[in-house]
Amino acid sequence: MDAYDAQLIEQKWQRVWEDEQAFHVGDDVEGPRFYMLEMLPYPSGSLHMGHVLNYTLGDVVTHFHRRNGDAVLRPMGFDSFGLPAENAAIKEGGHPLEITERSIASITSQMRRMGWAIDWQREVSAHEPTYYRWTQWLFLKFFEHGLIYRKEASVNWCPNDQTVLANEHVVEGRCWRCGAVVEARKMAQWFFKITAYADALLADLATIDWPERTKKIQTSWIGRSEGAELLFRVDELDIDIPVFTTRPDTVFGATFFVVAPESPLVDRLSESEEVRSYARIAAARPTEEREQREKTGVFTGRHATNPANGAQIPIWVADYVLMDYGTGAIMAVPAHDDRDRAFAEAFDLPIVPVIDDDGRLINSAEFDGRPAGEAKGEIVAWLSDRARGKQAINFRLRDWSFSRQRYWGAPIPIVYCDACGIVPVPEDELPLLLPEVADYRPKGQPPLASNEEFMNVPCPRCGGPGRREADTMDTFVDSSWYFLRYCDPANDKAPFDRAHVNAWMPIDQYIGGIDHAKGHLLYSRFFVKALNDFGMLDFREPFQRLFHQGWVRLGGKRMSKSQGGVSPTELVDQFGADAIRIYILFQGPADQDIDWTPDGIEATARFLRRFWRVVHEAAEQQASPAGVDTPLARKAHETIARVTDDIGRRFVFNTPIAAVMELINELSKAPHDPAARFAAETAVSLLQPYTPHVCEELWGVLGHSRLLDEPWPVADETLLVRETVQLVVQVNGKVRDRFDVPAGLPEDELVARARASEKVQSFLDGEEPRVIVVPDKLVNLVI
Ligand SMILES: [Zn+2]
Ligand SMILES: [Zn+2]
């Protein structure tokens, strides 16, 4: 027996798989298909441990499904436009293209050394003209369908990155990338009309298998609320100002009116420099500060008419009202709204209660005495008869601003012409190549604007002088459709062929960070719905099943790039890829954060050496007879059942490793058992998705070949007899049922069985209980 040499074994098998293109999957495959995808990386710098976790997880799923008979599509690409690559280039002092391509080459070679089962023939990178040609083409499609428009708006400006940010990328008033406090600026920007799909984005969440917390994040971000739109008249200006409210029952208590400082109404309402300068300064404050600090505001000198009682109420501009909500103006009801009350108290404005302690209306004319809940609809109907209001639905979601004042992105295919206005670049002129510029660093003005040769073009419509759009597209546009391109990566007639995407999509399993819940995961859903409406594909959701991996932490801090001593490359050099792969998944449930410790990997490397030795010893034994029944054989069948259930049904990846370790342990205690070889084969076969190199080598030692394509083992049910234990089921601590279950069932299975009991159900009353589990003994359901 040779000593275990990870480097030798891994290089050997990686070469074999590469020569065979083992993980390439064609378009004409037969039988069931499985599309496995992890979010693609930004190529800035090199791979970090977070990537190692994400892609190893996807790798186990890939191998598991391949060996269970699916044709698995598992591609890889690079989100290579955008700030991370560009900022890395600025820091290192090179050109973004050069640095991006260098990073891609380095990450690719690291990925190959990890032995991940990737179909490299389908690789795409967002910065390549063969890709962004089609991003631009899709821009034109969305534009043609009225789902893209340009407008002057108050936008989020990151003073550090010198560019506009989408609402989704402002976290507590700060830029999500660099942490700078975001400012408000008025600029003409390009928007995707994602709000046209607000209802569909909400409703279709019910059709996909996503974590509940992610659905909640999207649901509250879309923020649908039912209420009414009421019209407040400003007689002096002869205008009606609409407000959205979820509380039309309190309209009689509206004693003043507030406009957000960034609202275009401010300039119409007042010419006073005091009002305008307040608005300018207040609009630039971070949202968080505006919502929490002491109330500030200024009276415009104008009044609006309360549509319910005709009262003339003062109009203020105040920064506690945000442009994001409703129409950017509110009716203030200080008696029944905390923030309105704080403002009224600060500025000595009247407070009129309109609901009494019993929840009935008061001070509300003919509606006095009506229960507030019922009065809502009645008051809206009454105002509607007077053309002063109507029922309305409001969404918190805003259109997606996607133009960026930066260099490293896909140019927007638009020409401005004095005679024709906004003119799209003709399809046959794509790709509109990203030109060279003398200086690509951000300076507030888009860098492309300084390239006169690029900027000055004849208008495609009238031939007169035209000027190109100088902004580029946000990289989140690129990543909203990359998973479709993987299905048809070489197509030069269209972004993708409909039959090709229909054959693979929707993605069966998507894996990526929950930090993309409001951005990428929402944008991609919008893209797919719109493309479905354009007739380009036959499905409405991109990601059927979604899983969020946890973060890898070092000393309590989340790792997002390689940090001292934990560069994946150095670890591969020292321990081999298999040791890192198994280590990263062994640390705990993959959806929770894990702490990186240097001794952990040593222990994993020791286990692999032991595994190597024990399997070699078993290989010297006679082949195990079919149906062999010994305690070791039973242990092997039980391990098959556990690992299959954990990966396949429960989507848990750490416990299978422990199960195989236990089996190896049992095998080492009974090296001459008639089932020794069978146990060794089983361990090697089950561990293959985690450590494919050493397992392929050991499979050969055991006298077989191509474990990669070996069908997944199936447990012999007749050898799975387990001990039984009595499970006690309590509801709120009282015993309500008891029955026998097999010993060693996982907790969620115990809970499922407890809840399935009819006796128990009658005490639950359909409520969702909290659960307390004592394994093999007790389930207590608490409601
Ligand atoms: Zn920033
Ligand atoms: Zn023109």
**The two three-digit tokens of residue 497, written as one number:** 């062929």
**Ligand 1 centroid to residue 360 C-alpha, Å:** 50
557-558 and 183-192 as β-strands: parallel, antiparallel, unpaired? unpaired
Report whether pLDDT(110) > 90. yes
Q: What is the pTM of this model?
A: 0.87
Residues 589 and 548 sit within 8 Å (Cβ to Cβ): no
Ligand 1 geometric centre to CA of 94 (Å): 20
Adjacent-strand bridge partners of 371: 360
* 18, pLDDT greater than 70: yes
Q: Cα separations (Å) of 554 from 514, 560, 618?
A: 20, 10, 39
What distance in angstroms lies between residue 255's CA and the mean position of ligand 1's atoms? 40
Nearest ligand, CA 157: 1
Q: Residue 182 C-alpha to ligand 1 middle, in angstroms?
A: 8
pLDDT at position 472 is 96
Strand partners, 391: 228
How many Å lie between the centroid of ligand 2 and the Cα of residue 486?
37
CA of 418, nearest ligand number: 2
Distance 596 CA to ligand 1 centre (A): 29
pLDDT (tens digit per residue) in 501-542 = 999 999 999 999 999 999 999 999 999 999 999 999 999 999
Query: From the CA of 161, which ligand is nearest?
Result: 1
Residues pairing with 230 in the sheet: 243, 389
E-only strand ranges, 49-95 = 71-73, 77-78
For residues 267 and 275, give the distance between their C-alpha atoms in angstroms, rounded to a whole number.
9
- At residue 156 the predicted structure's pLDDT band, cuts being 50, 70 and 90, is confident
Structure tokens at 33: 């298909």
418 C-alpha to center of ligand 2: Å?
Answer: 7
Among the listed ranges 423-427, 760-764, 776-780, which one has the minimum average pLDDT value? 760-764
CA dihedral over 176, 177, 179, 185, signed as positive or negative: negative
d(CA 755, CA 737) in angstroms, rounded, equals 10
Q: Are 440 and 96 in contact (CB under 8 A)?
A: yes
Rounded to 5, what percent of the chain is helix, strand, coil? 40, 20, 35
Residues in the chain: 783
- From the CA of 178, the nearest ligand is 1
What percentage of the chain carries pLDDT values higher than 90? 77
| DSSP letters for 552-585 | EEETTEEP-S--TT--HHHHHHHH-HHHHHHHHH
Task: Report the DSSP pairing between strands 546-547 and 509-511.
Answer: parallel
pLDDT over 70, % of the chain: 99
- Reduce the DSSP state of residue 209 to 3 states and report it: strand
Is the pLDDT reported for residue 128 higher than 60? yes
Alpha helices in 115-194 (DSSP H): 129-144
Whether the bond into 431 is cis, omega within 30 of 0: yes
pLDDT top residue among 185 and 422: 422
**DSSP category for residue 322:** -
158 CA to centre of ligand 1 in angstroms: 5
Confidence of residue 721 (pLDDT cuts 50, 70, 90): low
User: Each residue of 606-641: pLDDT tens digit?
Assistant: 999 999 999 999 999 999 999 899 999 999 999 999
What separation in Å is there between the alpha carbon of 78 and the centre of ligand 1?
Answer: 21
Residue 327 near residue 244 (C-beta atoms within 8 A):
yes
Note the pLDDT of residue 560.
66
Give the 3-state secondary structure of residue 9. helix
The first and second tokens of residue 281, run together, are 């300064």
C-beta of residue 353 within 8 angstroms of C-beta of residue 252 = no
Contacts of residue 572, defined as CB under 8 A and 6 or more positions apart, other chains included, come to 110, 113, 114, 580
Q: Taking CA 695 as the corner, what is the angle to CA 690 and CA 696, rounded to the nearest 5 degrees?
A: 120
Name the band, by pLDDT with cuts 50, 70 and 90, for residue 67.
very high
Nearest ligand to residue 177 Cα: 1
Q: How many angstroms separate the alpha carbon of residue 292 from the centre of ligand 1?
A: 23
Give the distance (Å) from ligand 2 centre to CA of residue 428: 18
Ligand closest in space to the Cα of 458: 2
Check pLDDT > 90 for residue 46: no
Res 43 pLDDT > 90: no
CB under 8 Å to 485, separation ≥6 — which residues?
77, 124, 131, 134, 495, 496
C-alpha gyration radius of the chain = 31
State the CB neighbour count (10 A cutoff) for residue 150.
17
Q: Omega of the bond prior to 489 within 30 degrees of 0, cis?
A: no
Ligand 1 center from residue 164 Cα (angstroms):
9
Shortest-distance ligand to the CA of residue 183: 1
User: Can you give the pLDDT at residue 269?
Assistant: 94
Say how many Å lie between the CA of residue 460 and the centre of ligand 2: 7
* Alpha carbon distances (Å) from 694 to 74, 104, 303, 569, 640: 22, 27, 79, 18, 19
Q: Which ligand is nearest to the CA of 462?
A: 2
pLDDT tens string 332-346: 999 999 999 999 999
- Measuring CA to CA, which residue among 547, 531, 549 is closest to residue 539? 531
- Ligand 1 mean position, distance from CA 175 (Å): 5
Give 88 Cα–ligand 1 centroid separation in angstroms.
14
Q: Could you give the CA distance from residue 129 to residue 126 in angstroms, rounded to a whole number?
A: 8
H/E element, 515: none
pLDDT at position 553, please?
A: 86
CA separation, residue 224 to residues 118, 201, 533, 722 (Å): 40, 11, 22, 51
Ligand 2 centroid – CA 421 distance (Å)? 7
Ligand 1 centroid–CA 151 distance in Å is 23
Cα–Cα separations (whole angstroms), residue 379 to 95, 142, 762: 63, 40, 42
Positive/negative CA dihedral, 528, 404, 471, 399: positive
Mean pLDDT, residues 488-500 taken together: 97
Window from 421-430, 672-681, 697-706, 735-744 with minimum mean pLDDT: 735-744
The ligand whose atoms approach the alpha carbon of 163 most closely is: 1
Q: How many angstroms is it from 160 CA to the middle of ligand 1? A: 5
Ligand nearest to the CA of 179: 1
| Rounded mean pLDDT, 171-195 | 89
Amino acid 559: pLDDT: 74
Q: What tens digit of pLDDT does each residue of 270-319 get?
A: 999 999 999 988 887 777 677 777 889 999 999 999 999 999 999 999 99
Q: How far is the CA of 163 from the centre of ligand 1 (A)?
A: 8
**Which-ligand-closest: CA of 422?**
2
| Per-residue model confidence as pLDDT tens digits over 356-403 | 999 999 999 999 999 999 999 999 999 999 999 999 999 999 999 999
DSSP letters spanning 620-674: TSPPPPTT--SHHHHHHHHHHHHHHIIIIII---SHHHHHHHHHHHHHHH-TT-T
Distance of CA 579 to the CA centre of its chain: 29
> What does the pLDDT read at residue 564?
54
Q: Ligand 1 mean position to 95 CA, how many Å? A: 20
For residue 475, the CA-to-ligand 1 centroid distance in Å is 14
The pLDDT of residue 353: 97
Residue ranges with CB less than 5 Å from ion ligand 2? 417, 419-420, 459, 461-462, 464
- Please tell me the distance between residue 445's alpha carbon and the centre of ligand 1 in angstroms: 16
pLDDT at residue 722, as a whole number: 67
Per-residue pLDDT tens over the stretch 457-487: 999 999 999 999 999 999 999 999 999 999 9
Per-residue pLDDT at 324 exceeds 80:
no
Kindly give the distance from the C-alpha atom of residue 100 to the centroid of ligand 1, in angstroms, as a whole number. Answer: 20
In whole angstroms, how far apart are CA 574 and each of 106, 568, 649? 18, 10, 34
- 310-331 mean pLDDT: 90
**Is residue 562 scored above 70 in pLDDT?**
no
Q: How far apart are CA 89 and CA 726, in angstroms?
A: 64
First-to-last alpha carbon distance for the chain, in angstroms, is 59
Distance from Cα 420 to the centre of ligand 2, integer Å? 4
Beta carbons within 10 angstroms of residue 468's beta carbon: 21
- 200 falls in which pLDDT band (50, 70, 90)? very high
* C-alpha to C-alpha distance for 278 and 285, rounded to whole angstroms: 11
How far is it, in rounded angstroms, from Cα 89 to Cα 104?
A: 13
The confidence score (pLDDT) of residue 445 equals: 84
CA of 196 to the centre of ligand 2 (A): 30
Q: How far apart are CA 106 and CA 108, in angstroms?
A: 5
Q: Kindly state the average pLDDT of the residues 138-150.
A: 98
Between the CA of 469 and the centroid of ligand 2 the distance, in Å, is 14
Averaged confidence pLDDT in the chain: 93
Which ligand does the CA of 84 lie closest to?
Answer: 1
Strand 71-73 vs strand 33-38: parallel, antiparallel, or unpaired? parallel
Query: Confidence band (pLDDT; 50, 70, 90) for 93?
Result: confident
Give residue 423 CA to ligand 2 midpoint distance, Å. 7
- Is residue 147 over pLDDT 70? yes
Q: Which ligand is nearest to the CA of 442?
A: 1
The rounded Å distance from CA 424 to ligand 2 centre is 11
When pLDDT is cut at 50, 70 and 90, the band that residue 555 belongs to is: confident
- For residue 459, give the DSSP letter: -
Q: For residue 759, what pLDDT is reported?
A: 87
Q: What is the pLDDT of residues 407-455, one digit of tens each?
A: 999 999 999 999 999 999 999 999 999 998 888 887 778 999 999 999 9
Exposed/middle/buried for residue 584 (C-beta within 10 Å: 0-12, 13-18, 19+): buried
Residue 625 burial (CB count, 10 A): 12
For residue 490, which phi and psi values (nearest 5 degrees)?
-100, 5
Starting from the CA of residue 171, give the closest ligand: 1
Answer yes or no: are the C-beta atoms of 468 and 411 closer than 8 Å. yes
Residue 417 CA to ligand 2 center (angstroms) comes to 5
Distance CA 301, CA 49 (A): 60
